[in-house]
Structure 1
Amino acid sequence: MKKTLYSLVAGLAALLFITSCKKDKTLSNADVTPVTNLYAPEDAKAVKIPSGASGSVSFEWEQAHASDNGLVLYEVAFDKEGGDFSKPLYSVPSDGNGLYNKLTLSYSDLNKVATIAGAKPEEIAKLIWTVRSSRGVKLSASAAKRVISVQRPVGFESPDAVFVTGSATEGGADISKAVKMKKVGDGKFEVYTSLKAGTYQFVDAKTGIIKKYSFNGTRLVEDGETNVTGDTKVVKLEVSFNDALFKSTEVVKLGLWFSADSKIWFDLNYAGNGTWTADNKPIVFHQESWGRDERYKFRFTFKNADGSTTEQYFGSTNRDNSAATAATAPSYYYMVPVDNSVYDYTFKFNHDLDNKSADIKVMMNADVAAYTHTVTLKQ
């Protein structure tokens, strides 16, 4: 009895499914009325998109009707002011995968539409929008349309990766050798590199569709190149896409600072790719009443745009540490900006190094998980 009941239910479900499919196929060709009235936003609405802010704009309209009283699908189309929507700049289904007579369009997507319309950051794009209704096949365009003015934010949509390329860079004009910048925050990237006479620009990819950026003063701008003159210099380049900011700072030198002596023991030489080295350097701990002191950190000297210099210490993420050993994890050597205190946030040399020589390497590039350094006993 149960088997018969199950077979009957299964057969009925299959019949309903087939009938539904045939019915949907027929309904997809039903006539749909065009949308008559647009409700929101009001005509000539002005929208200023804030930099880095989340938000949206709501588009609403009167419902359309299908000749068979079935469900209607909607999409909103955008075009430049004066356009006829024959080739819209952008179209998107309404909320609910096209089922609702409402569209919640994010600031990010609205910024994309303004960008497609040709507006640069902070410029205003005058757009028109309308609604097209359908049963999934034939679109019924509304005769109603409205204007919306969109002012793009000061910044850019942040790319997933950023590279520096050009004749002035370490990788040269060959974009396949572009130097990758390190992501250090939301929309923020930086790189320690050298620049020689020539040109350079920032790109978001090495292949495919590539967006290019340069700078004008302290502002990041689309396209263009930056000229470099004079001798080769080591620099720190910083870009922030959210607020379109750019900064270039010359790196004068990097030294190993020994706490007990409260001075730089020796400078490291720049070796390319954000890396500094010092080879075969003597390591002699400081004798204290309680034992041998082995604490150290690093100090950068930067040259500012006005010619003044700034010192920045890089040390441990920990305020205090045990001495390094052969079993110490690589993360022990990670370097972060720290204060100029004598003994806090310092590293401690492996005790095997006392009265020996060592090779020191500092790596400030995108190849490492975090800015770091190594200390290798010289045999």
Structure 2
Amino acid sequence: MKTIYIKIMLIALSVFVVSCDDDETLSNTNVSPVSELYSPADNTFFNLGAASSALFEWQHAKAEDNGIVLYDVVFDVESGDFSNPVYVMPSDGKGLQNTLNISFTDLNRIAEMAGIESKNSGKLKWTVLSSKGLNIQKSSASGVIEVERPAGFPSPDELFILGTASEAGTANTDAIPLKKIGATQYEIYTSLKPGDYHFITRKSDNSLVYSINGTNLEEGGATTYSGEEKVYRIQVDFSDGSVNMVEVGEIKLWFPPTGEFMFDFEYKGNGTWKAANVFIEFKQEGWGRDERYKFRFMIDGQEMWYGSVNGDNQRPSDDSDLSFWYMVPVTDDYWSNCFKYNGNVDEKNADIEIIFNASVPEYTHAVTPL
């Protein structure tokens, strides 16, 4: 009987100890709410078109165990109560610091989520959450900032063109990708025919849609094209919502050894041109055979030259890196930045293809002997 009594006492004691440990563990997660927001001051105005950032700062919260405190900054619409916030972001230092330095690019995205349209101003409400991962405390203080969104839009990871006026047709799955040429810039060389076209950010049904209105990019809608079927270079910049669209005319190969513009390049679709089955002959010089060439594009009625990234080149071989044929804008200098033909095309027929689309790492060309 005495043994049973001792066992009962030991069990009761162990339960008491575990309960105390649990209470102590839970109490170690207690933190105070942030009591004061330091900056920005209420109704501070930010023009988000600038390449800058905003600094949010608040008073430290206190942890019951004197340990670290984690912070999240919460953004909501001006009339919101943070029960369904627009966006939540950890503070600097992965949530450890009592500051948040947020870029205007990110703040612009948050403003868009809050329903503030581009080229318009509106207000965002913010506060801070403090915690140790549990027992999250919302500050009783909140602030309001006013932001003006730029004409641009958050830049998507991809951009495609489609529509009856485009080469792609109307199915999302057939949309043609634009080439990303900068952090916020896209470009495509494509033909347009009478009809409508627009841009999408993904091939799925929940894509964002953009269209062109004059020289501006707009959300939603479609652009009507009513002119003759022509090839265009379309450049889109999401940072300021601008569009540049110019006609691409004749393309010729410049052969400086004889001072001639050679071959007719026919547009074949998807940003490619081809001079098919053309006869190539190098020029005999006293020192050997000269095989240098580059390209002249007529864009918006003006000459634009494309050549090699190198001022001078050695003759390539079948084993040369593909980057040898990459095409970059160059000057109209008679000899500079010329490519050289592979020796296997001298006095032979060949196909010359120019490829300016998103399928290649850089705009390029290929010379294929027949």
Output the TM-score relative to the length of structure 1: 0.83
Counterparts of 1:156 and 1:208 in 2: how far apart (Å)?
Answer: 20
Please give the per-residue CA displacement for 1:18-53, whole angstroms capped at 9, x wherever unaligned.
9998466422675x55443322111111112244x2
Q: Is the 1:27–1:70 Cα contact (8 Å) retained in structure 2?
A: no
Instruction: Give distance in 1, aligned partners of 2:342 and 2:310.
Output: 17
Cα 1:320–1:102 shift into 2, 3 Å: closer
Letter in structure 2 aligned against 1:42: A
Give a deviation string over 1:275-333, Cα, whole Å, max 9, x none: 11122212233344554432221111123xxxxx1111211222222333344333222
For the residues of structure 2 that align with 1:21 and 1:56, how far apart are their CA atoms?
Answer: 45
2:99 counterpart (97, 102, 127): 102
Matched letter for residue 341 of structure 1: D
Using the alignment, how far apart are the partners of 2:209 and 2:366 within structure 1?
Answer: 35
Aligned residue pair count: 353
Q: Does 1:376 align with 2:364?
A: no
Shift of residue 174, structure 1, vs aligned partner: 0.9
Q: Secondary structure at the match of 1:75?
A: strand
- Counterparts in 2 of 1:111-122, with a 5 A limit? 111-122=108-119
Q: 1:313 to 1:69 in 2, by over 3 A?
A: closer
Aligned 1:299-310 pairs, distance under 5 A: 299-303=296-300, 309-310=301-302
- Aligned partner of 1:3 in structure 2 is none
What aligned pairs does 1:54-133 form with structure 2 within 5 A after superposition? 55-65=52-62, 72-133=69-130
Q: Superposed, which structure 2 residues align to 1:350-369 within 5 Å?
A: 350-369=342-361
Aligned to 2:15: none
* Aligned equivalents of 1:213, 1:43: Cα separation in 2: 34
2:81 maps to a residue whose letter is D
1:264 maps onto 2:261 in alignment: yes
Pairing 1:49–2:41 present: no
Q: Which residue number corresponds to residue 26 of structure 1? A: 26
Residue identity in the other structure for 2:345 = L
Distance in 2 of aligned mates of 1:24 and 1:219: 61
CA distance in structure 1 between the aligned counterparts of 2:280 and 2:359, rounded to whole angstroms: 28
Structure 2 match to 1:252: 249
Matches within 5 A, 1:9-24: 22=22
Helix, strand or coil for the counterpart of 1:370? coil
- Residue by residue, what CA displacement relative to the aligned partner does 1:155-209 show, whole Å, maximum 9, x if unpaired? 3332222221222211111111111112222322211111112222222221264
Structure 1: tracts of 5 or more residues without a match: 1-17, 304-308
Q: What runs of 5+ residues in structure 2 fail to find an aligned partner? A: 1-17
CA distance in 2, matches of 1:326, 1:135: 62
**Selected match of 1:178 from 167, 175, 183:** 175
